[in-house]
Amino acid sequence: MHHTDAVAALSAATTWHKASHSGSDNGGCVEVATIPGWIGVRDTKLGPDSPVLAFTPHEWDTFTRGVRDGEFSLPSDAR
């Protein structure tokens, strides 16, 4: 499946669930859904109107590993 088709299929998915590390105030929350071969992420505040980021399992693994390793952390003076 091509990326654009995956985004469309994920956008139509009804299996979105709030990520376990999201806060309860809806200020910085994301939702995650899966379809075969793809993982989707969207902003909770916008719900179905939110743009969807679509990752293959390999891309998702690489991304989440980078997050855990602090690869995307901002310097303390930029926060």
The angle subtended at Cα 18 by Cα 53 and Cα 7, nearest 5°, is 25
The type of residue at 52 is V
Which three-class secondary structure state does DSSP give residue 20? coil
- AA identity, residue 76: S
Tell me what percent of the residues of the chain surpass a pLDDT of 70: 87
19-49, pLDDT tens digit by residue?
776 666 656 688 999 999 999 999 888 878 8
User: According to the model, what pLDDT value does residue 9 have?
Assistant: 92
